Structure 1
Amino acid sequence: ILADGGRIAASGPSEFVRLLREGSWFDSECTDEEYMVNFSGWYRELHGVTVRTDTPEHFMDDLKKYGYIKG
């Protein structure tokens, strides 16, 4: 469950990033790596925290830590 009320069912971090990107209004055509960097920049501007983008696992862990992923 995401902070915006959306839901993503993924088998792991890489699939989570792909599904999040595919559902994006703005970045659905970029690579997963580009998407993580773009999302991290947007999230930092809004919330003042840095989401790691070196691996899908770190990206997902940080989104959980900062409350974007609720479940």
Structure 2
Amino acid sequence: MADGGRIAASDPSEFVRVLREGSWFDSECTDGEYMVNFSGRYRELHGVTVRTDAPEHFMDDLKKYGYITG
């Protein structure tokens, strides 16, 4: 990940769950709520919109915008 952290996940849904569980802001949300909240914060910081309609699209956009590396 861009911050140097690592997440091991077998699929996009697990990636979202693990990311949410480690969140300082939204660990108690559902995965869907987490994606929406994360996308809003990411848009404010970086000026791009991360799709939240499916974990696959969420993960694809995070790769596209450089949040997920490797």
Q: Same fold (TM over 0.5)?
A: yes
Q: Deviations over 1:16-53 (max 9, x none)?
A: 00000000011000000000000000000000000000
Residue number in structure 2 paired with 1:62: 61
Gaps of 5+ in 2: none
Scaled by the length of structure 2, what TM-score is found?
Answer: 0.99
After TM superposition, list the pairs within 5 Å mapping 1:14-53 onto structure 2: 14-53=13-52
% of aligned pairs identical? 90
Aligned positions of 1:5-20 closer than 5 A: 5-20=4-19
Rounded to whole Å, the distance in 1 between the matches of 2:50 and 2:25 is: 19
CA RMSD of aligned residues (A): 0.4
TM-score, normalising length: structure 1? 0.97
Moved over 3 A (4+): none
How many residues are aligned here? 70
